[in-house]
Amino acid sequence: MEYASFLRQHIEQIVTLSDDEFELVLSYFKPKEVAKKEYLIKAGQKVTSEFLVIEGLLKTFLFDEKGKEHIIQFAMENWWISDYPAYAQQNSGEMCVQALENCIVLELSLKDKIQLCETLPKMYRFYGQKSFGGYVSLQKRVLSMMKNSSKEKYELLLNQYPQLFQRASKTMIAHYLGVSRETLSRLHKRYFLYLE
């Protein structure tokens, strides 16, 4: 199965697994196909799982009271996605997770994750490192939101994730950066004029 070797590579970037250990790990994950525009999580629904992206692109977002969309997270191949504040509480949340392309994801519930780690403690190391990496990335994002101009925010994202600019719409990138669609278009023209 294609996703099995993907998962093994993903985990072995951090911890090495024997074949038996990997079989055990694999048994906890549920593969899932999600069609473009389909929802993996809907606001108000209890969130018990997170998802590793094998193929495709998704977003976690919400609409505020004024009907404005805010994208808290994108996820493509090798990224994890959920409504994390809700998942951490195993409760219903205010955000949605939606596929922006046809996707294949691997689902892991928090309950299974805990059981897997208890059975195979080296997985604590894997999740610890992943969470710490995520924490540091978010600190950088908060810092960028606080001090950077729209142009600097745009450039930072473009340098970090050039792929995203080929796969997500300009509107979505604007909703992720927290800049207006007009500002985004202006910046986009500056960088992509000769490519389109």
Backbone angles phi, psi at 171, to 5 degrees: -60, -45
Using CB under 8 A as the binding rule, whether residue 121 contacts its own copies is answered as: yes
Using CB under 8 A as the binding rule, whether residue 143 contacts its own copies is answered as: yes
What is d(CA 82, CA 85) in angstroms, rounded to the nearest whole number? 9
Q: Beta strand 96-99 with 80-81: parallel, antiparallel or unpaired?
A: unpaired
Using CB under 8 A as the binding rule, whether residue 44 contacts its own copies is answered as: no
Shortest reach from residue 38's CB to its own copies, in Å: 23
Using CB under 8 A as the binding rule, whether residue 167 contacts its own copies is answered as: no
Structure-block tokens of residue 53: 């992206």
Q: Which is nearer to its own copies, 125 or 151 (CB)?
A: 125
Using CB under 8 A as the binding rule, whether residue 196 contacts its own copies is answered as: no
- If phi over 0 gives left and psi between -120 and 50 gives alpha, with beta otherwise, what is residue 44? left
Shortest reach from residue 106's CB to its own copies, in Å: 19
Using CB under 8 A as the binding rule, whether residue 136 contacts its own copies is answered as: yes
Range in contact with its own copies (rule: CB under 8 A) among 1-9, 32-40, 80-88, 160-168: 80-88
CA-only gyration radius of the chain, Å: 18
Shortest reach from residue 35's CB to its own copies, in Å: 26
Using CB under 8 A as the binding rule, whether residue 115 contacts its own copies is answered as: no
- Please provide the DSSP assignment of 86-134 as one string: HHHHTSB-S-EEEESS-EEEEEEEHHHHHHHHHHSTHHHHHHHHHHHHH
Using CB under 8 A as the binding rule, whether residue 142 contacts its own copies is answered as: yes
Shortest reach from residue 75's CB to its own copies, in Å: 13
Per the CB < 8 A criterion, the answer to whether 95 and 62 are in contact is yes
Q: Which is nearer to its own copies, 34 or 71 (CB)?
A: 71
Secondary structure class of 54 (helix, strand, coil)? strand
Range in contact with its own copies (rule: CB under 8 A) among 29-37, 39-47, 70-78, 165-173: 70-78
What is d(CA 43, CA 47) in angstroms, rounded to the nearest whole number? 9
Catalog residues that contact its own copies under the rule CB under 8 A.
62, 64, 68, 70, 72-73, 84-85, 88, 117, 121-122, 124-125, 127-128, 131-136, 138-143, 145-147, 178
